[in-house]
Amino acid sequence: MSHIDLPIDAIDAREGVREQRFGRIWKQDLNAVFADVARYYDRANHVASLGLWNWFLRRFMAVVEVKPGQRVLDVCAGTNAIGIALLKREPGLDVHAIDRSAEMLEVGEQNARTLGFAIDCRVGDVHVLPYPDNHFDLVTLQFATRHLRVKEVFAEIRRVLKPGGHFYHSDMLRPSNRVVEAVYFGFLRFTLAFTSLVFRSSPEAKRCRRYFVDALELFYSADEFSAVLREFGFVEVRQSSLLFGVLGFHRGVEPEHGG
């Protein structure tokens, strides 16, 4: 794994541009988008990923380490794919989930109930987590950081993690190779248009199709994201990626003595 540095002032500058470009969409548009896509979110992801969606989940779960009795928080839990996968592996976990979208969590709660799993779900702003300090052994976050104010969310995740607790992250990333990036973004534009047609997306969802590609263009590569985790205070940072850097998995640890 290559090791690069991304100074905090460079991260702050990038985050400032992201906020300027996308802040209105984050605050005003995404709730309507996810309210619409909740009904077909999982099916659309299978189509858009050319059937690889479950493989992505299995690969992410392979890097997540859990022990019986641990308290887990899934941030931006959506349809509870992560919580369900963790409970299938270790039924003794105490799993909590939070998401901004009531509609997505409603689907997630139903998915969990259908399989006989109990997940404590809350609707709320993940930039201000409604949990005590040092509360969770493990925090996960999948396919959402592109839509978040990273510095605020990571500070909250560190706050609620116990010393020595683990943070596991998975998201689409900006490929570091320019050729891969061009091909990837072209594919995304096509598949977003195709899935919105097949699943009859709402006007709000259709208007955000360009945003989903633009957000990736201003996001981080796998190596840059590792640097972000280190700059924000996580230690023992590890990464792996799939499909030439299109998808990345990261792990960071909350320091035993703060930091």
In a domain, 259, yes or no: no
In a domain, 174, yes or no: yes
Higher pLDDT, 225 or 4: 225
In a domain, 258, yes or no: no
Two tokens, residue 48 = 């858009």
Residue 1 is predicted with a pLDDT of: 47
Within 10 A of 86 (CB to CB), how many other CB atoms are there? Answer: 23
The C-alpha atoms of residue 153 and residue 158 are separated, in whole angstroms, by 9
Cα dihedral 129, 137, 154, 188 sign: negative
In a domain, 236, yes or no: yes
Which region among 15-24, 40-49, 169-178, 244-253 has the lowest average model confidence (pLDDT)? 40-49
Write the pLDDT tens digit of every residue in 12-26: 999 999 999 999 999
Confidence of residue 101 (pLDDT cuts 50, 70, 90): very high
Two tokens, residue 1 = 């794994």
Residue 47 contacts residue 198 (beta carbons within 8 Å)? yes
Two tokens, residue 117 = 């799993």
Two tokens, residue 188 = 């995304």
Domain residues for the domain of 226 are 8-253
Residues 6+ apart with CB under 8 A from 129: 73, 75, 98, 156, 157, 159, 160
Checking if the pLDDT of 4 tops 80, the result is no
Write the pLDDT tens digit of every residue in 202-243: 777 778 888 899 999 999 999 999 999 999 999 999 999 898
In a domain, 3, yes or no: no
3-state SS record for the chain: CCCCCCCHHHHHHHHHHHHHHHHHHHHHHHHHHHHHHCCCHHHHHHHHCCCCHHHHHHHHHHHCCCCCCCEEEEECCCCCHHHHHHHHHCCCCEEEEEECCHHHHHHHHHHHHHCCCCCEEEECCCCCCCCCCCCEEEEEEECCHHHCCHHHHHHHHHHHEEEEEEEEEEEECCCCCHHHHHHHHHHHHHHHHHHHHHCCCCHHHHHCHHHHHHHHHCCCCHHHHHHHHHHCCCEEEEEEEECCCCEEEEEEECCCCCC
When divided into structural domains, the chain yields a total of 1
In a domain, 78, yes or no: yes
In a domain, 163, yes or no: yes
Q: CA torsion 89→170→212→202, rounded to 10°? A: 10
Cβ-based burial of 79 (10 A; exposed 0-12, middle 13-18, buried ≥19):
buried
Among residues 192, 126, 139, the alpha carbon closest in space to that of 170 is found at 139
In a domain, 177, yes or no: yes
Residue 251 contacts residue 63 (beta carbons within 8 Å)? yes
Checking if the pLDDT of 191 tops 90, the result is no
CATH number at residue 100: 3.40.50.150
197: Cα separation from own chain's centroid: 25
Write the pLDDT tens digit of every residue in 233-256: 999 999 998 988 899 999 999 998
